[in-house]
Amino acid sequence: MKNKLYITIPYLFSIGLLIFSLSCSRKELIEEIQIKNNDSKLVVFSLITPNKYVFVNVRKTQPIGESNNVNTKDSTFDLVSTAKVEIINLRTKIKKILPEIEKGVYGVSPSDFSVIAGDKYALMINFQNLSTYAECTIPSNATVIDTVITKLNDVVYTNTYDTTTLNLSRNLLKAKDISTPNNVYEYLGYSGELKITDKYNNVVILSASDFIIITKQLNQCDFSINSGLNKNEVKIVQSWQILTVYPLLHNFLKTKKFQRNELSVSQNSPFLIFRGVMPTITNIQNGYGIFAGYLISPPKQITVTR
């Protein structure tokens, strides 16, 4: 018996090499995992504001791992028809069932249902065995700004992506928030055409690509305009509109943008993969998406001179 143990070293070495070579096979080292107890939920998108249509976009989530859970050619594939969508003004108790005006989109005109600043609303959706509930409050006062632009100095700005250099006029925008001057919970946004960068703090404060991006409180804004002005040139930036929203909506949109960016970045290199936990922000009970209110300021024209 003992003698059988005394195998020769070359034989031992051969066994080692054989096992090592077998281990080089990477076959089936990646396998798909089935997620249990993962049922679909409703996804609701609705932003409401006075004097405009109320639209509610209703979709259904697709469980990760289920076949055909994406459709890159038809984004309407997960819209939900024949859902019961009801909105209630919780102050006046006025209710309205929203009819489906196109596939998965339910709406009501301002004449049939009024959205009032400062009021609280509830949205209830039922579809088959799925139901959601959400509440939101419309801000009481729209942020109205009174601007004063002061020329500070000229700066050189280098575009990160095309490496072009711009000579910019750095201006100070002093804005007064007439509605809620001391409300630190109010966030401000912008809808326009230009990208404006706070060069000195390296903060993009406003962006055309997203309809709302966090700003500092407007009365603290100090920014340059990313569109080089020649000497004595006058630039008129038209149609500024400031949105007044609650932090939830701001965070939702910020996260949406963040998730999109990170998915895009991680496709470039596995080493740039997002290593944190992606936040899921929603106020839809038993579902996903957003139901929020906002106010919009009248368009504002600002003139910048270099």
Partner 1 sequence: MKWFCLILLLCYFNSKAQYVVSGTIYDTQDSVGVAGLVVSFTNLSKFTVTNDKGFFKKKLKGIPQKVIIKSMAYETVELDLNNIQGDTTINIYLHYSQKELSELVITSNSIKESLSNPMVGVTKMSAATIKKLPSLGGEKDLMKALMLLPGIKSISEGSAGMYVRGGSPDQNLILFNNAPIYTSNQFFGLLSTFNTDAIKNIELYKGGIPAKYGGRISSVLSVHSATSKMDKFDINGNLGLITAKIQIDIPIIKNKAGILFSTRRNYFDLLKNRIPTPQLKNGIPNYHFEDYTFDFTCKLNTRNELKIYSYLNKDIWNASKDESYGGGQKILYKQTLGNRIWGVNLNSIFSKKFQNIFNVNSSTYEYKVANGVEDTFKNEINNFRTGIVDNSITNHVNWFASNAIIISAGLRFANQKIIPHLLDYSNAKQEISIKREQKSTNELTFYNDFEWKISSKLKSVAGYRITNLKNDTSRFWIEPRFALNFSINDKQALKFGYQHITQWLHLISNPGLGPIEDIWVASNNKVSPQKGFQATVAYEREININRHDFLLKSDIYYKEFKNIIAYKDGFSSSNFTIYSNESTPSWESFVTQGKGKSYGLEFLLEKKQGKFNGWIGYTLSWTKHQFDELNNGKLFFARYDRRHDISVVLMYNFNAKWSFSTNWIYGTGQATTIPIQIFSSPLFKINANKFDSRGFSPTYASSDRNAYRMKDIHRLDMSLQRNVKHRWGEGIWDLSIYNVYNRRNPLYYYMGYNVAKNSYSIYSVSIFPIIGSISYNFRPFWKK
Interacting positions 261-280 with partner 1 (CB under 8 A): 263, 268-280
Please, which of residues 186-215 interact with partner 1 by CB under 8 A? 191, 197, 202-204, 211
Question: What gap in Å lies between CA 183 and CA 172, rounded to an integer?
Answer: 22
- Cβ(306)–Cβ(233) below 8 Å: yes
Q: Which among 172, 145, 173, 143 has a CA at the least distance from the CA of 245?
A: 143
Among 15, 97, 172, 208, binds partner 1 (CB under 8 A): 15
Is 155 near partner 1 (CB under 8 A)? no
**What is the rounded CA–CA span in Å between residue 93 and residue 217?**
35
Q: Tell me which of 100, 104, 113, 225 binds partner 1, using CB under 8 A.
A: 104
Per CB under 8 A, 133 contacts partner 1: no
Name residues contacting partner 1, limited to 213-232 (CB under 8 A): none
86 or 210: CB nearest partner 1: 210
Q: Is 99 a residue that touches partner 1 (CB under 8 A)? A: no
Is 128 a binding residue for partner 1 by CB under 8 A? The answer is no
| DSSP H or E run through 20 | helix 9-23
Non-local (6+) Cβ contacts of 86 within 8 A are 95, 96, 97, 98, 123, 124, 125
Based on the shown chain and the rule CB under 8 A, indicate whether residue 130 belongs to the binding site for partner 1. Answer: no
Q: Which two tokens stand for residue 73?
A: 């050619």
Q: With contacts defined by CB under 8 A, how many residues of the chain interact with partner 1?
A: 97
* DSSP β-ladder status, 287-296 and 223-225: unpaired
Separation between Cα atoms, residue 50 and residue 60, nearest integer Å: 28
Between 163 and 182, whose beta carbon lies closer to partner 1? 163
Q: Which 8-state DSSP code applies to residue 128?
A: T
Site string for partner 1, 21-50 (x = CB under 8 A): -xx-xx-xxxxxx-x--x-xx-x-xxxxx-
